[in-house]
Amino acid sequence: MRSFGQLAVAALGCVSSVAAQYRHLNSSQIHTDSKGFRLQHGFETVLVQPYGYDGFRVRAWPFRPPTGDEISFLYDPPLEGPEAGAAAHGMNYDISTNGLEPLRLRNGKIVVQTFTAPVRNNVTNVRLAFYRVEDDGSETLLTNEYQPYKALNPRYYSWNGPGYEFSAAFSFSTTPDEQVYGTGQQQDHLVNKKGNTIDLINFNTHIPTPMFMSSKGYGFVWNSAAEGEMEFGALRNRFTSRTTTLVDYAITTADEGDYDTLQRRLTAMTGRAPQPPDWTLGYIHSKLRYENQTEFIQLAQEFHDRNIPVSMLVIDYQSWVHQGDWGLDPALWPNVSYMAEKVKELTGAEIMASLWPSVSDASDNYATMQMEGYLAALRSGPGITDSWNGSYIRLVDSTNPKARDFLWSKLKYNYYDKGIKNFWIDQADGGNLGEAYQNNGQSRYIESIPYPFADALYHAGTQMSVGKLYPWAHQQALEEGLRNVTNTQMGSPCDQVSLSRSGYIGSQRFCSIVWSGDTTSVWETLAKQVSAGLSAAATGWGWWTQDIGGFEKDQSVWWSANIDTPEFRELYVRWQQWATFLPFMRNHGSRDCNTQDAFTCDNEPWTYGESNTPTIVSYINLRYQLVNYTRALFSQLSATGRMIMRPLYMDFGMTDPNIMEMTKNNSNVTTQQYMYGPRMLVTPVTLPNVTEWSVYLPQTAGGNGTQPWTYWWTNATYAGGQSVTVPAPLEHVPVFHLGSRADIMSGDVF
């Protein structure tokens, strides 16, 4: 029996084939100024183009060429690169080949090469391989199309229905030691996704996105709106689109360990986050839910009287008469303009209101949207039949530009023109309301229905073919409306923001915060949110947040989400401390309580016990003290794509050999610790009843080889490359910093 290493070599035999062919090429045969090449391979066409700095874009199709109307999340051309500002690449190329003779193109630090892989009996298939050019002129193989001897074709197509649309599965070589970062957001407690297969289906808390960075020093985007899978195996990475008419992906490279350059290249392809308004950098407050105008103004009065700063107050769901009214119930909110002015006067805060993407047949908007074709349908019937609170609802088709315009017209009239200018895009996962694990509470006997509806039909296509577009398009509806009304261009600083429970490739280009969804209020879930945020960051989503305290009760834990229990109060304080060091500090949740004096139980900073209130308020104040630092982080994010939440491999993978090994194994160090910007190491406390906490301090680079870490609360200094145990009473979250505290407070850190 052969060892795993021998099997790996055998399975990657095509790599040696690549190397053998490469030896027969010389530098005169490499193309450095080509527009790209078109490879005709039987019934299949492959188009490869230089793309941005150090990147290539690859498109492939069998038989029929694409129409040009395919959905793309990539910029053409990218925001940065030799072609930035020039005409779009389109489908241009200047070299044609059948692949029988090796062909090499170079774009900056990346090289693509065609090679022929043996099948059997002198039959060969044409494959692609990608290399990074090192400073000494040598080349490092990043990945190649994966095809061991007599294996499934690495560019695999199949036709499963009566039409032309096909299923595509593309495979690429990897090695057991490669690490994979990004892939959107999953509740899996992982930073390194190696070994995972992830379904490309959105639902509440699950936002899979086929975009990743490799520890080998390359970034990859599978540019598809279709449902499918991404698989990261020991020897093969495979991406599947279940129904499509075009395969489209991009690859880029940077020096191994240079993740900031990788992020710069990837965000140049998919979009840069704009600069958020200053007021969003403070404290955002919400609960499930404030019932009426009087209660909401009283909330603002309480913040004013208690001298607690707040930047935005939020009106959550069911504040309307009927689903799809997209306006507040006038019986409960009789004077919206006055309320907005009063809240601003008392606190200086903005207001955000919730909207859902569904319309009840009782809403005045239903008939118009039905007649105009603004509602999603089913391939087997007139519309997506869903329900909420016993009423029949239909899903807004946000992939339809006219439906997006209609939605915004209602939001503008009912909210924006009356002073509520920020919007919470809840439930917009696509296919239905996005509750994959229950039937929206309609029956305790009917659960685990396989949502989203695979049979959903949109203006842009089916759920199978374009389902991943839906949350992105819903964000787009708000972005288009807000940009038009403020007469600003996408990418410029934002005046207002939206908050979305979902997203996709390039969601960061919108003035839209992604949050981690309806999580449960237990310690394990708190720990999962850290790694979820780090994976979101590696995907390019710098605008990320979550619900302080978790959203809802875990039915298996008696004290979960109950504000009157000491157990939940402790969890809430620890969660709130951590949220101080996130891109956005947002408090929200559905709470239980022993005594209820409002429509829903309280969730304000002063409701978690008299002894805890000073601690909670102190972290809100600290958030405002750090505003210069946070603003500087967002400025770098907007300019270069440099992440705010930074997994430890980003900054210490090359200076501390322990970090990569810990990341490979998804140790608690690398899933629970991260850098908040360049100077602050944050380690949330994720267990109850502790008074001290162990923290690993990475080996740093400095003038003498190391730079000391300083514990925020005691000013004690420590050398890097060791684990230390520090005091962590309930008042203190373990935070260390590099450099002076004065520089951090001033924002002078770059």
Separation CA 644–CA 680 (nearest Å): 11
Reading the block at residue 598, the tokens are: 């409002």
Q: Are 468 and 456 in contact (CB under 8 A)?
A: no
3-state helix, strand, coil in the chain (%, to 5): 25, 25, 45
Look up tokens 């972005």; give the residue. 479
Give the CA-trace dihedral at 711, 716, 718, 723, to 10 degrees: -60
Q: Are 22 and 73 in contact (CB under 8 A)?
A: no
- For residues 570-597, one letter each, b for 16 or more C-beta atoms within 10 angstroms of the residue's C-beta and e for the rest, the string is bbbbbbbbbbbbbbbbbbbbbbbbeeee
Q: Are 266 and 305 in contact (CB under 8 A)?
A: no
Burial degree of 443 (CB within 10 A; 0-12, 13-18, 19+):
exposed
**How far does CA 732 lie from the centroid of its chain?**
29
Look up tokens 């519309």; give the residue. 383
Reading the block at residue 718, the tokens are: 């420590």
Q: Name residues whose C-beta falls within 8 Å of residue 62's C-beta, 6 or more positions apart in sequence.
A: 43, 44, 45, 157, 166
Reading the block at residue 8, the tokens are: 């790996």
- For 614-638, the three-class secondary structure string (H helix, E strand, C coil) is HHHHHHHHHHHHCHHHHHHHHHHHH
* Residues forming the active site: 426, 518
- Using alpha carbons, select from 72, 236, 64 the residue that is nearest to residue 166: 64
- The one-letter amino acid code at 232 reads F
**How far does CA 108 lie from the centroid of its chain?**
28
- For residues 3-22, one letter each, b for 16 or more C-beta atoms within 10 angstroms of the residue's C-beta and e for the rest, the string is eeeeeeeebbebbebbeebb
Look up tokens 């008696």; give the residue. 558
